[in-house]
Amino acid sequence: MSAVSEPGIARLSRHQIARRAAELIPDGSYVNLGIGIPTLAADVMPTDKEIVLHSENGILGVGPAPAEQDRDRDLINASKDYVTLLTGGAYVVHSDAFVMIRGGHLDLALLGAFEVAANGDLANWTTGDKRFPPGVGGAMDLAAGAKAIWVLTDHVTKAGAPKIVNQCRLPLTARGVVRRIFTDLAVIDVTETGLVVREMVSGLTLEALQAVTEPALVLAEDCRELTVGSG
Amino acid sequence: MSAVSEPGIARLSRHQIARRAAELIPDGSYVNLGIGIPTLAADVMPTDKEIVLHSENGILGVGPAPAEQDRDRDLINASKDYVTLLTGGAYVVHSDAFVMIRGGHLDLALLGAFEVAANGDLANWTTGDKRFPPGVGGAMDLAAGAKAIWVLTDHVTKAGAPKIVNQCRLPLTARGVVRRIFTDLAVIDVTETGLVVREMVSGLTLEALQAVTEPALVLAEDCRELTVGSG
Amino acid sequence: MPIDKIVPDVASAVAGMKDGDAIMISGFGFAGVPNDLIHGILDTGADDLTVISNNAGTGTEGLAALVGSGRVRRIICSYPRSRGSDQFDARYAAGEIELELVPQGTLSERMRAAGAGIGAFYTPTAVGTGLAEGKETRTIDGRDYVLEYPLHADIALVQGWRADRWGNVIYRKAARNFGPVMAMAARRTIVQVRDIAELGGLDPEAVVTPGIFVDRVVAIDSDREWDI
Amino acid sequence: MPIDKIVPDVASAVAGMKDGDAIMISGFGFAGVPNDLIHGILDTGADDLTVISNNAGTGTEGLAALVGSGRVRRIICSYPRSRGSDQFDARYAAGEIELELVPQGTLSERMRAAGAGIGAFYTPTAVGTGLAEGKETRTIDGRDYVLEYPLHADIALVQGWRADRWGNVIYRKAARNFGPVMAMAARRTIVQVRDIAELGGLDPEAVVTPGIFVDRVVAIDSDREWDI
């Protein structure tokens, strides 16, 4: 059992990772939620903010999942989940959804990751396993286009290996784009001088976090406890 | 008095040039009418055909001019004349109006000309007079983009000089694009083997026409009289 | 003669298909897929096809049936593998289908370029990744870009919602997705809609695909849920 | 906090203008010109401006007044000279204003490229003409193209018809023209509309400019016919 799964450490669930990220999205932002943990953020958006969610297939103003009887086969998001449209939302053609992405109109994209490097490189589109067909979807467009990229991911792989690495081994999605990483253990900023830990879960030490993170971590002066619902 | 303005020669008016061209537009075509004589064609479209007129400012399905009391300042064509919208027409953003043009979706553009060369070169955007600011509008896009270009023009300049020339002296709008020329004297096809006269007004000889045309003309085997209202 | 792009049935809509055609197929996941037209293509027996679509089909019908028929030589898409993409996965594993993987925004932008007469364009997407390998790059104002070329097709199969005899089309919700840009890109665009509007029945301010981009329209008045 | 892009008046709408700004101004001829916003710009006293618009103004008000003020250093347009473009003509003749003449379709495509994050594109328009002189050309699939770059702006002034507090905009008839593509291209987009719709009051299928492209909206409820 690795140090970070000891009983005293208040690891976040996938939903809690999504919720913490959602809490930190600036009010009024235009945001895309990628496949994986980010998608979970859609249903836990803070109710005191107005945040406009974008979906690559052509929706601006994505609302929460509908009740089962209200599902509409013409209204799904890019993860192919049933969604709704917020009042004030609009439908656009696919190429215009990517004008928004590529043109730098999205304030933020929350993406999943296989690996994130200390310099902000992101690998999240293929494991390179030749047995399976690769799929890229909108990952490269989002990574290259949004004004800021936040990654939401488990801190380590199922096998316990670090996902925050010195250099990505897997094929890249984009170079140097990640600004912040939300994991089950910490919130880490990617800065020019290195990785800065802004929040850590209760019971965790920097040494324990460093043990499951390849690049050197620096503790922010105002590092606080990572909890959900703390605004 | 030059040979082509003799009393026996049935020269067409500008309206008649426009009307003859309109008569020959294939049924169901998508057509742009440029500034000058082409604009006059809008009000003389054959009623037995359905032809969809395009305007660069963002109208597909331009209708005839409205009565004065029905003028709408939000509904003008690219020549800034008041127009109407046909039933079935649509408004589009400017860049999409040029997707239609540049993407080769227009069957035909009818354009004015300062000069047309034997190889189909077109000069219709500037006289090169440095005293006046040049204006190009959509002329170069239309000339490069429409599937076919027909030129509608007086056969000679006000000074009597040929406008159909061996080589354009004025700055070009596009190279090798003109397919057919409608003038007050003749309808001439631009072919790989040269200019072929398809129609001539009554009273005109090939020799007289040649005298006001720089490149060599060939009479089509089935050359007919150029009249308006002859289908 | 009145312009009338409405054809009576699917067979008329897809008439003229040839072996070797490149076909764009609208849809994203299960939304906006022209399933009736796809089965119409299958019924023509056309072979050696290139399919251009965001996904590669799931379940047993629609795009998955076309891919599973063995008549698709090559597929150009952004995200072939999904829950239920067994038909594609099997053909791919067996080396029976070529895959050109294109980032999703580059996919629709290449379609738009084809429709708009743009010869090529520089995009920041995929710079420095495996999907830009072998492609020309260029630094413009300090940023790196990859050169991408237009994506044309012989035919686009598009699902709309309502259309008129001039071929003006409106869509429904997120089923709009690739339809309008495929309609621009293909040499022949065939649209299936739920019902036909009278000419003038669509708001000229709200037409999404103007008729100039559409060649044939067929109405399919069905609530059938396909296995896709 | 609710998103609210609606500002109370023209002065608030144009607040933040700086000397040297590049300003896109919607309109084609006299349709779709945001005259109130233009006069708002004049009132700020901002100088050394670049104006990007299809035309260069006619009459004595609106764009012509801005050009006539002497505060426009440079204009980028497709068709400056028209009946009544005396203000521009005089400045041009006196060598007091720079003109960059751009083919009309290239003008809006360069705006779209700016809005869409495209680094540059190849267009067939203007090949072999004086307007392509000095520009890079390239032969692609046997056809010649000219390389064109994106056209950005600090501010876009756009005339819409109705908008909501999220900045969703619809337009009226041919007054739509350059508005939507300028809204994409500029760093700050300011829209004047005839009236404000409740959020949800615009059909989500018919929104032409989604709010993401809009920063400020001001309602001008006036039938005034400008001398333009």
Which of B230 and D61 is assigned the larger pLDDT?
A: D61
Instruction: Answer yes or no: do C28 and A138 touch at CB < 8 A.
Output: no
- DSSP per position, C160-202: -SEE-TT--EE--GGG-TTHHHHHHHEEEEEEEESEEPPTT-S
Share of chain C above pLDDT 70, in %: 100
Does the beta carbon of D172 lie under 8 angstroms from any beta carbon of chain C? yes
Q: Is the pLDDT of residue A7 over 80?
A: no
Instruction: Give the pLDDT score at A1.
Output: 42
Q: Could you give the residue ranges of the DSSP H alpha helices within chain A? A: 14-24, 37-40, 94-102, 139-145, 206-211
Q: Is the pLDDT of residue A129 over 90?
A: no
Q: Is the pLDDT of residue A43 over 90?
A: no
Radius of gyration of chain B (CA): 17
Q: Is the pLDDT of residue B155 over 90?
A: yes
Of B74, B91, B141, the CB nearest to D104: B141
pLDDT band at A130 (very low <50, low <70, confident <90, very high): confident
Q: From CA A88, how far away is CA D214, in angstroms rounded?
A: 13
Average pLDDT over residues B202-207: 96
| Element (DSSP H or E) covering residue A116 | strand A115-117
Q: How far is C1 from chain A (nearest CA, A)?
A: 33
Average pLDDT over residues C139-156: 98
3-state secondary structure of C104: helix
Picking from B112, B108, B66, B115, the residue whose alpha carbon sits closest to that of residue B86 is B66
Query: What does the mean pLDDT of chain B come to?
Result: 95
Average pLDDT over residues B16-43: 95
Instruction: Enumerate residues 6+ apart whose C-beta is below 8 A from A71.
Output: A82
Instruction: Answer yes or no: do A54 and D212 touch at CB < 8 A.
Output: yes
Q: From CA B6, how far away is CA B8, in angstroms rounded?
A: 6
Instruction: Answer yes or no: do B141 and D178 touch at CB < 8 A.
Output: no
Phi, psi (degrees; rounded to nearest 5) at B160? 90, 5
* pLDDT tens digit at each of 228 positions of chain D: 899 999 999 999 999 999 999 999 999 999 999 999 999 999 999 999 999 999 999 999 999 999 999 999 999 999 999 899 999 999 999 999 999 999 999 999 999 999 999 999 999 999 999 999 999 999 999 999 999 999 999 999 999 999 999 999 999 999 999 999 999 999 999 999 999 999 999 999 999 999 999 999 999 988 888 999
Instruction: Answer for the pair B186, B199: CB distance below 8 angstroms, yes or no.
Output: yes
Instruction: Answer yes or no: do B175 and D127 touch at CB < 8 A.
Output: yes
Dig out the tokens for D54 from the structure: 């299809």
Instruction: Answer yes or no: do C122 and D118 touch at CB < 8 A.
Output: yes
Average pLDDT over residues B166-184: 97
Does the beta carbon of A145 lie under 8 angstroms from any beta carbon of chain D? yes
Instruction: Give the pLDDT score at B43.
Output: 84
Residue-wise pLDDT tens digits, A142-176: 999 999 999 999 999 999 999 999 999 999 999 99
Q: How far is D66 from chain C (nearest CA, A)?
A: 30
How long a stretch of residues is chain C? 228
Q: From CA A107, how far away is CA A96, in angstroms rounded?
A: 16
> Which chain A residue lies closest to C75 (C-alpha atoms)?
A133
Query: What is the torsional sign of CA D190, D192, D197, D200?
Result: negative
Q: Is the pLDDT of residue B2 over 70?
A: no
Average pLDDT over residues B119-145: 93
Instruction: Answer yes or no: do B58 and D106 touch at CB < 8 A.
Output: no
Picking from D126, D197, D125, the residue whose alpha carbon sits closest to that of residue D161 is D197
Instruction: Give the pLDDT score at A230.
Output: 61
Q: How far is CA D211 from CA C69, D165, D215, D221, in A?
A: 44, 8, 8, 21
Q: How far is CA D86 from CA A115, A169, B133, D81, D83, in A?
A: 62, 65, 11, 8, 8
DSSP code for A35 = T
Instruction: Give the pLDDT score at B1.
Output: 42
SS3 content of chain C, % helix, strand, coil (to 5): 25, 25, 50
Average pLDDT over residues B131-152: 95
Query: End-to-end alpha-carbon separation of chain B, Å?
Result: 32
Q: Is the pLDDT of residue C137 over 70?
A: yes
Of D3, D204, D212, the CB nearest to A100: D212
Catalytic site positions of B: 56
Residue labelled with tokens 């656009």: A92
Instruction: Return the partners of chain C (3 or more C-beta pairs < 8 Å).
Output: A, B, D
β strands within chain B, DSSP E: 30-33, 52-55, 59-63, 84-91, 108-111, 115-117, 122-123, 149-152, 164-165, 178-182, 186-191, 194-200, 217-225
Instruction: Give the pLDDT score at D154.
Output: 98
Instruction: Return the partners of chain B (3 or more C-beta pairs < 8 Å).
Output: C, D
SS3 content of chain A, % helix, strand, coil (to 5): 20, 30, 50
Catalytic site positions of A: 56
Does the beta carbon of B74 lie under 8 angstroms from any beta carbon of chain C? no
Instruction: Answer for the pair C104, C54: CB distance below 8 angstroms, yes or no.
Output: yes
Chains B and A lie in contact, requiring 3 or more CB pairs less than 8 Å apart = no
Instruction: Give the pLDDT score at B129.
Output: 86
Residue labelled with tokens 């495929």: C182
Instruction: Answer yes or no: do B98 and D89 touch at CB < 8 A.
Output: no
Q: Is the pLDDT of residue B49 over 90?
A: yes
Q: Is the pLDDT of residue B7 over 80?
A: no
Residue-wise pLDDT tens digits, B85-98: 999 999 999 999 99
β strands within chain C, DSSP E: 22-25, 49-52, 72-77, 98-101, 120-123, 137-140, 143-148, 153-159, 162-163, 169-170, 186-193, 195-196, 216-219
Phi, psi (degrees; rounded to nearest 5) at A101? -75, -60
Q: Is the pLDDT of residue C223 over 90?
A: no
Taking a contact as any Cβ pair under 8 Å apart, which residues of chain C between 159 and 188 contact chain A? 171-181
Instruction: Give the pLDDT score at D103.
Output: 98
Sheet containing D153-159, strands listed edge to edge, beginning at the edge strand earlier in sequence: D98-101, D72-77, D49-52, D22-25, D153-159, D186-193, D216-219
Of C115, C116, C210, the CB nearest to B90: C210
Q: How far is A120 from chain D (nearest CA, A)?
A: 21
3-state secondary structure of C210: coil
Instruction: Give the pLDDT score at C155.
Output: 98
Instruction: Please return the burial class of B144, using the count of CB atoms within 10 Å of its CB with bins 0-12, 13-18 and 19+.
Output: buried
Q: How far is CA D124 from CA B101, B109, B122, D79, in A?
A: 11, 16, 15, 19
Dig out the tokens for A182 from the structure: 């939300």
pLDDT band at A3 (very low <50, low <70, confident <90, very high): low
Picking from C28, C22, C18, the residue whose alpha carbon sits closest to that of residue C185 is C22
Instruction: Give the pLDDT score at B128.
Output: 84
Size of interface A-C (CB pairs under 8 A): 141
Beta-sheet pairing, C143-148 with C169-170: unpaired
Residue labelled with tokens 């965001």: C54
Does the beta carbon of B135 lie under 8 angstroms from any beta carbon of chain D? yes
Q: How far is B23 from chain C (nearest CA, A)?
A: 14
Q: Is the pLDDT of residue B3 over 90?
A: no
Q: How far is D200 from chain C (nearest CA, A)?
A: 15
3-state secondary structure of C120: strand
Beta-sheet pairing, A52-55 with A84-91: unpaired
- DSSP per position, B66-81: PPGGG--TT-B-TTS-
Q: Is the pLDDT of residue B231 over 70?
A: no
Instruction: Please return the burial class of C27, using the count of CB atoms within 10 Å of its CB with bins 0-12, 13-18 and 19+.
Output: buried
Residue-wise pLDDT tens digits, C47-89: 999 999 999 999 999 999 999 999 999 999 999 998 999 999 9
Instruction: Enumerate residues 6+ apart whose C-beta is below 8 A from B29.
Output: B51, B52, B107, B108
Q: From CA D19, how far away is CA B113, in angstroms rounded?
A: 41
